[in-house]
């Protein structure tokens, strides 16, 4: 692992696959022109619409999203994370899938979201991700000599610290948390959750995000961020419009924080999560 620039892209995706991919390409191009070698896209980057429509179009979305990620990675000679898109699964449902591609356009890792967002929020919105999504059951890390060891997750996973501790047990140095966090929960929880995962695991956190109004009453919080292992916010894309949070991932900083705060060495309880 060596120092490199990473980008957490912030998008306002809508129920229009072609439009979303065009928006994503524009931000990938922007990030590459800033010198980024790792570009991360948020959950639902390819399609942000009603769940029934997303499931109906899942095969098309998956095929186009994966072709797009491979093409962009190869064209721009960067690593790209597609932070979440539907892949047809079991019983008419889909897997909420994140995939990482290398500069040759090859898939390096694929993660299926484990924790599904089934909640009734005080603002009157109800979410039942499990109605259309099958839960994944495997932890995923990806070790690469240029990037270090990345631990993959998606959105609601951020509320489950045992997942990230298990990724760290597998060597994770950078935690990937692409999201489409609701405006209501994001206001109070997004930043503190990201900082908690960074601090307790002494890891970098890269969190691309959705922002603004997408369809009907669906509104996202934004604030795509990159945080260092001390929990400091290195970059924040804000909460109003699409953009990019760009910051350096520095292995020397990682090692320095882990020396100063060796909490991972002081653990007394083993994690029970298995793959």
For the chain, what is the radius of gyration of the CA atoms?
17
Catalytic residue among 37, 43, 66, 129: 43
Report yes or no on 269 lying in a domain: no
Report yes or no on 268 lying in a domain: no
Report yes or no on 274 lying in a domain: no
Report yes or no on 273 lying in a domain: no
CB 41 within 8 A of CB 11: yes
Is residue 246 classed as helix, strand or coil in its secondary structure? strand
Catalytic residue among 36, 37, 113, 203: 113
Domain at 190, CATH number: 3.60.110.10
Angle between helices 161-169 and 183-201 (to 10 degrees): 30
- pTM of the predicted structure, to 2 decimals: 0.96
**CA separation (Å) from 34 to 1, 5, 30, 79?**
20, 9, 7, 14
- Residue 272, pLDDT > 70, answer no
Q: Which residues pair with 75 in a beta bridge?
A: none
Range of the domain at 149: 4-263
Whole-angstrom distance, CA of residue 46 vs CA of residue 57: 11
Whole-angstrom distance, CA of residue 179 vs CA of residue 185: 12
Whole-angstrom distance, CA of residue 90 vs CA of residue 102: 28
pLDDT at 218: 86
pLDDT at 62: 98
Report yes or no on 176 lying in a domain: yes
Order of strands across the sheet that contains 174-176? 141-144, 148-152, 174-176, 204-207, 225-227, 233-236
What average pLDDT does this structure show over 169-194?
A: 97
Report yes or no on 270 lying in a domain: no
pLDDT at 25: 98
**Triad 112, 212, 199: Cα angle to 5°:** 55
Q: What is the mean pLDDT of the chain?
A: 95
Which residue blocks in the chain are alpha helix, DSSP H? 17-33, 51-56, 58-76, 161-169, 183-201, 251-260
Task: Provide the domain count of the chain.
Answer: 1
pLDDT at 274: 47
Q: Is 43 a catalytic residue?
A: yes
Q: What are phi and psi of 63, to 5 degrees?
A: -65, -45
Q: Is 220 a catalytic residue?
A: no
CB 123 within 8 A of CB 129: no
Report yes or no on 15 lying in a domain: yes
Report yes or no on 275 lying in a domain: no
pLDDT in tens, 3-47: 999 999 999 999 999 999 999 999 999 999 999 999 999 999 999
Q: Is 106 a catalytic residue?
A: no
Catalytic residue among 36, 129, 142, 155: 155
């Amino acid at each position: 692992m060596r120092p490199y620039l990473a980008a957490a892209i912030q998008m306002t995706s809508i129920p229009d696959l072609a439009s979303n991919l065009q928006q994503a390409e524009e931000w990938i191009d922007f990030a590459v022109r800033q010198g980024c070698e790792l570009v991360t896209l948020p959950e639902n980057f390819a399609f942000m619409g009603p769940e029934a429509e997303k499931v109906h179009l899942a095969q098309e979305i998956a095929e186009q999203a994966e072709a797009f990620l491979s093409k962009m990675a190869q064209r721009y000679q960067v690593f790209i994370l597609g932070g979440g898109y539907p892949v047809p699964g079991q019983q008419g449902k889909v897997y909420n899938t994140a995939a990482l591609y290398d500069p040759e356009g090859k898939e390096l890792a694929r993660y299926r979201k484990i924790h599904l967002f089934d909640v009734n929020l005080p603002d009157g919105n109800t979410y039942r991700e499990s109605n259309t999504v099958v839960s994944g059951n495997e932890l995923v890390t990806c070790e690469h000599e240029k990037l270090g060891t990345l631990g993959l997750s998606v959105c609601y996973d951020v509320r489950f610290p045992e997942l990230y501790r298990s990724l760290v047990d597998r060597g994770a140095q950078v935690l990937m948390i692409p999201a489409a966090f609701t405006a209501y929960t994001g206001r109070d929880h997004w930043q503190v959750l990201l900082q908690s995962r960074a601090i307790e695991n002494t890891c970098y956190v890269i969190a691309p995000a959705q922002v603004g109004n997408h369809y009907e009453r669906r509104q996202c919080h934004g604030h795509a961020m990159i945080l260092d292992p001390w929990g400091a916010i290195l970059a924040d894309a804000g909460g109003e419009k699409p953009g990019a949070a760009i910051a350096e991932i520095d292995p020397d900083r990682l090692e320095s924080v882990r020396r100063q705060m060796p909490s991972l060495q002081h653990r007394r309880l083993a994690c029970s999560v298995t793959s």
